[in-house]
Amino acid sequence: MKNVGIWIDKEKTKIVDLEKDTIETVFSEIEDFHIQGGSGTRFKGGPQDVVQDSKYLEREKHQTKAYFKKIIPFLDEANSIVIFGPAETGEKLRKELSENHPMIIKKLREVQKADSMTDNQMKAWVREYYRN
């Protein structure tokens, strides 16, 4: 039985394969958007900068989908999957799997929050998860 753990955040994914005792790293290419806003003056009614944040959000959405497409091939051979990591990227991956990958979502056991970890801590976390 091939048990896989996926530690994921917006920057990178670490795929822990207990059977092979390996960790694969997949880097995202999601740009770090810092939307600058505010006014050009401190006076009320002065000129305002218009921020087109919908443009940035749409671009980030497309980059996130491309990131997930790079991760999916690692999940095809797994029998059981657990997703863990900080932030909401794990939930976004779960949503992508449930909408577009019905065979893989059946293998997903859980999505859990977890802090940043070293590679050895990730292996230990996944081993402990499947032990219980």
**Which residue segments constitute the domains of the chain, with CATH numbers given?**
3-31+51-131 (3.30.420.60)
How much of the chain is helix, strand and coil, in % rounded to 5?
40, 25, 35
Element (H, E) at 13: strand 12-17
CB contact at 8 A, 81 and 94? no
DSSP of 108-119: EEEEEE-----H
pLDDT of residue 43: 59
Per-residue pLDDT of the chain (132 residues; tens, 9 = 90+): 699 999 999 999 999 999 999 999 999 999 876 655 554 555 566 555 555 678 888 999 999 999 999 999 999 999 999 999 998 999 999 999 999 999 999 999 999 999 999 999 999 999 999 998
Element (H, E) at 61: helix 53-71
pLDDT of residue 28: 94
pLDDT of residue 129: 96
pTM of the model: 0.82
Q: What is the DSSP secondary structure assignment for residue 58, as one 8-state letter?
A: H
pLDDT of residue 53: 77
pLDDT of residue 99: 96
